[in-house]
């Protein structure tokens, strides 16, 4: 059985950090969704003349930038939820691949981290 290397007090600190990050992402994502809705309604007011091409193109750029963020936010939220689940089941702080202890310093920077440094490096190399 995989047991977390952290005591309940430490786990509570990580849980709080994860919860705050989750809230921050949810709010940012919601604000962007509102902006999307605003962009959409301003686009659909029927002005199809060429004078708006430059504006439309900058909107498209902005749009794809926001979509990119939304995709990342969804992924990070999923990672945060998995980390919170590991706090519940008691395996938080262990590498999900090899079961090694994930250094506390790494989790302080990235509380949703689910791999030890060695496994994360291997995963990053495979992606290249």
Residues that bind Zn ion (CB under 5 A): 95, 97-98, 100, 116, 119
Which CB sits closer to Zn ion, 84 or 96?
96
End-to-end CA distance of the chain: 33
Q: Kindly state the smallest distance separating residue 51's Cβ from Zn ion, in Å.
A: 57
Q: Kindly state the smallest distance separating residue 119's Cβ from Zn ion, in Å.
A: 3
Strand partners for 101: 94
Which residue carries 């999307």 as its tokens? 36
Which CB sits closer to Zn ion, 90 or 103?
103
Which CB sits closer to Zn ion, 95 or 113?
95
CB 18 within 8 A of CB 80: yes
Q: Kindly state the smallest distance separating residue 99's Cβ from Zn ion, in Å.
A: 7
Q: Kindly state the smallest distance separating residue 6's Cβ from Zn ion, in Å.
A: 16
CB 70 within 8 A of CB 32: yes
What is the C-alpha to C-alpha distance for residues 11 and 113, in angstroms, rounded to an integer? 14
Which CB sits closer to Zn ion, 80 or 102?
102
What is the C-alpha to C-alpha distance for residues 32 and 37, in angstroms, rounded to an integer? 9
């Amino acid at each position: 059985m995989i047991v977390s290397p952290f005591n309940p007090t430490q786990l509570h600190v990580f849980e709080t950090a994860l919860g705050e990050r989750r809230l921050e992402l949810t709010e940012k994502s919601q604000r962007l969704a509102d902006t999307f809705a605003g962009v959409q309604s301003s686009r659909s007011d029927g002005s199809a003349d060429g004078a708006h091409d430059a504006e439309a193109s900058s909107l498209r750029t902005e749009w794809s930038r926001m979509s990119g963020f939304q995709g990342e936010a969804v992924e990070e939220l999923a990672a945060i939820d998995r980390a919170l689940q590991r706090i519940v089941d008691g395996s938080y702080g262990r590498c999900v691949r090899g079961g090694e202890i994930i250094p506390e310093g790494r989790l302080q920077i990235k509380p949703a981290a689910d791999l030890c440094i060695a496994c994360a490096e291997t995963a990053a190399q495979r992606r290249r």
